[in-house]
Amino acid sequence: NAGVTQTPKFQVLKTGQSMTLQCAQDMNHEYMSWYRQDPGMGLRLIHYSVGAGITDQGEVPNGYNVSRSTTEDFPLRLLSAAPSQTSVYFCASSSQGYSNQPQHFGDGTRLSIL
Amino acid sequence: GNSVTQMEGPVTLSEEAFLTINCTYTATGYPSLFWYVQYPGEGLQLLLKATKADDKGSNKGFEATYRKETTSFHLEKGSVQVSDSAVYFCALSGTGGGNKLTFGTGTQLKVEL
């Protein structure tokens, strides 16, 4: 049972580099989202998608891009990495975009920007 | 906007002790409320949920009751085990449509023998 799979698990970047964090789910979930986790701040929503071809911004979208070309995949792109983007990133999915649906989380990507 | 406030940790308990982690929220309308647990090196897992006032969510000996009058969703367990050591997050989900979660800052629980 794969669930939500994130790659890579760890990454170190230099300031100004770009990269893509991958997220894939095999549960045919319509709703997918990206969060970042920082000490003392809980998790904050970056971007989300209610279905293929539809994305929207969350609480902290600046510096990140997303796209949703398939139901299964929801990559997160850092265009020009900054030290402030050092964080642990979690991808999540749920079967529907309704508020009572629990979300399934991946194991996270730990990203360090030097 | 929506917000969640939960008690700061770390909380250290002896095995078989009673656990309470306080959580209060601010939201318009009728949000759904969740407790998620994060074990070291892992992602978040749903522990329990409640979707309307006076609902009680329960799982693995943990309970929480959705109290609209006090805007609270406190997590309780009667007898904790070492294996319960983890970080616990209280969260609420969108009164404005969609499934956007607003999280508390998390409470680290350490259970000792």
In this predicted model, what pLDDT tens digit does every residue of B21-37 receive, in sequence order? 999 999 988 899 999 99
The pLDDT of residue B77: 98
Nearest CA to CA, how far is A108 from chain B (Å)?
6
Chain A residues in contact with B47 (beta carbon < 8 A): none
Q: What is the pLDDT of residues B31-71, one digit of tens each?
A: 999 999 999 888 899 999 999 999 999 999 999 999 999 99
Nearest to B33 by CA among B9, B14, B6: B6
| C-alpha to C-alpha distance for A98 and B52, rounded to whole angstroms | 14
| Helices and strands per DSSP (H, E), number in chain B | 0, 12
Give the DSSP letter string of A13-51: E-TT--EEEEEEESS--SEEEEEEE-TTS-EEEEEEEEE
* Confidence class for position B97, pLDDT limits 50, 70, 90: low
**In the block, which residue shows the tokens 């939201």?**
B27
Percent of chain B with pLDDT strictly greater than 70: 96
- From first to last of its 114 residues, what are the pLDDT tens digits of chain A? 679 999 999 999 999 999 999 999 999 999 999 999 998 888 999 999 999 999 999 999 999 999 999 999 999 999 999 999 999 999 999 987 676 778 899 999 999 999
Q: Is B111's pLDDT higher than 90?
A: yes
Nearest CA to CA, how far is B35 from chain A (Å)?
10
Q: Is B98's pLDDT higher than 70?
A: no
| C-alpha to C-alpha distance for A106 and B73, rounded to whole angstroms | 25
Please state, as a whole number, how many other Cβ atoms lie within 10 Å of the Cβ of residue B69: 7
Chain B residues in contact with A90 (beta carbon < 8 A): 43-44
- Cα B7 to Cα A18, A24, A83, B11, B29: the distances in Å are 37, 34, 29, 9, 24
Average confidence (pLDDT) over B80-104: 87
The pLDDT of residue A97: 66
CB contact under 8 A, B95 and A99: yes
Of A33, A43, A102, the CB nearest to B103: A43
Sign of CA dihedral B95, B99, B104, B107: positive
Which B residues, 71 through 110, put their C-beta within 8 Å of a C-beta on chain A? Answer: 89, 93-95, 97-101, 103-106
